[in-house]
Amino acid sequence: MTTAQTILYAGLAAIFIAVVLVLAALGGATGKRAQVSRSLAAIRGLASVPPSMRREEDKTFEERVLGPGMARLTRMGRRLTPAGQTDRYRRKLENAGSPLRWDTDRVLGVKMLGLVGGAALLLLLAVALSGGILAIVAVTAVGGATGFFAVDLWLYQKGYNRRERMQRELPDALDLLTISVEAGLAFDSALSQVARNTEGPLAEEFQRVLQEMQIGVGRPAAMRALAERTDQPELRGFVSAMVQADTFGIPIANVLRIQASEMRLKRSQRAEEKAQKVPVKILFPLIFCILPALFVVVIGPAAISIVRTFTGGSP
């Protein structure tokens, strides 16, 4: 074993020991809090035995390994995350449609898991490729940063796709809502009709508005909560118009008809805008991909003939 390999392995061992010591220190710093939590859990367990008090051999792999590991990673994420960032993650989750079993604690835990896992994966890859010390450190840092911000990119893309779909579905939903109200249904019944006969995130949001009104939340408050959850400009305008109509006693059918017409006009304008962007978007593929191949096909045979003529070769 060469001296460079010995130094590299010693460095990897030092990194591993440092990570273990940091985890142990973080676990020791929360010892008192963990003791209080265990005491409260024991008091609650007097009424019913929780799964955590079952025998060790009866627990599943998730309860024995994954659960405690994710809990420790979540605590680490809370310490490394600023105070206001938790509210931002909660808002991102709402914009993404509140994915099943995802909350702010799970986001923080997965971010820390991505940090450790991404750094370890690229570290092993760099060692296997026999890179230099600086290359190993740079690749490890890139892997950790990529794993740490992967959840943010996923939430952003999921929220963006959801907003785009709601934007496409809103004009048709308003048309159906207008027809239902003009046919004699009340606004709540028309909203329920739209939620039952359509699919997608907009129908889910309308269904949530109905559920909130059924548990006692007023219609204006439920509609404002819809606008805050979705963060979609057209939907915010619709909610604002409906709240004002409900406040000032304006006929809802007229407001819905105007809103539906405005949404259809905006959809046409967006289609025209995208059509006008096509020539600009196709310019670079045309210059760098299509024109060179076209020049080779058209000018290539003539260029070969000219070269052969001037060099005295046979055509």
State CA 134 to chain mean position distance.
33
- Taking CA 124 as the corner, what is the angle to CA 122 and CA 128, rounded to the nearest 5 degrees? 115
User: Would you say residue 253 has pLDDT above 80?
Assistant: yes
Quote the tokens at residue 93: 């989750």
Q: What is the per-residue pLDDT across 141-158, written as a single tens digit (0 to 9) for each? A: 888 888 888 888 988 898
User: Would you say residue 32 has pLDDT above 50?
Assistant: no
Residues of the chain by 3-state class (helix, strand, coil), percent to 5: 85, 0, 15
pLDDT at res. 135: 81
Give, to the nearest 10 degrees, the angle between helix 31-44 and helix 3-29.
50
- Cα–Cα distance between 144 and 112 in angstroms, integer? 9
Q: What residues contact 274, with CB distance under 8 A and at least 6 apart? A: none
User: Would you say residue 313 has pLDDT above 80?
Assistant: no
pLDDT at res. 301: 85
User: Would you say residue 251 has pLDDT above 80?
Assistant: yes
- Cα–Cα distance between 95 and 98 in angstroms, integer? 7
Summarize the confidence of residues 292-310 as an average pLDDT.
Answer: 84
- Taking CA 192 as the corner, what is the angle to CA 188 and CA 196, rounded to the nearest 5 degrees? 175
pLDDT at res. 47: 43
User: Would you say residue 20 has pLDDT above 70?
Assistant: no
* Structure confidence at residue 123 as a pLDDT band (50, 70, 90): confident
pLDDT at res. 115: 84
3-class SS of residue 103: coil
pLDDT at res. 12: 61
pTM (predicted TM-score): 0.65
- Cα–Cα distance between 175 and 150 in angstroms, integer? 39
- Cα–Cα distance between 243 and 195 in angstroms, integer? 19
* Structure confidence at residue 58 as a pLDDT band (50, 70, 90): low
Cβ atoms within 10 Å of 121's Cβ, excluding its own: 16
User: Would you say residue 24 has pLDDT above 70?
Assistant: no
Summarize the confidence of residues 252-281 as an average pLDDT.
Answer: 88
Average pLDDT, the chain: 78
pLDDT at res. 39: 55
pLDDT at res. 5: 58
Summarize the confidence of residues 60-83 as an average pLDDT.
Answer: 68
pLDDT at res. 63: 58
Q: Range with the lowest mean pLDDT among 16-20, 80-84, 130-134, 304-308?
A: 16-20
User: Would you say residue 44 has pLDDT above 70?
Assistant: no
Q: Range with the lowest mean pLDDT among 45-49, 120-124, 186-190, 246-250?
A: 45-49
| CATH class of this structure's domain 165-268 | mainly alpha
State CA 280 to chain mean position distance.
29
Of all residues in the chain, the percent with pLDDT exceeding 70 is 77
User: What residue segments make up the domains of the chain, in order of their start?
Assistant: 165-268
Q: What is the per-residue pLDDT across 191-236, written as a single tens digit (0 to 9) for each? A: 898 888 888 888 888 998 999 988 888 888 888 888 888 878 888 8
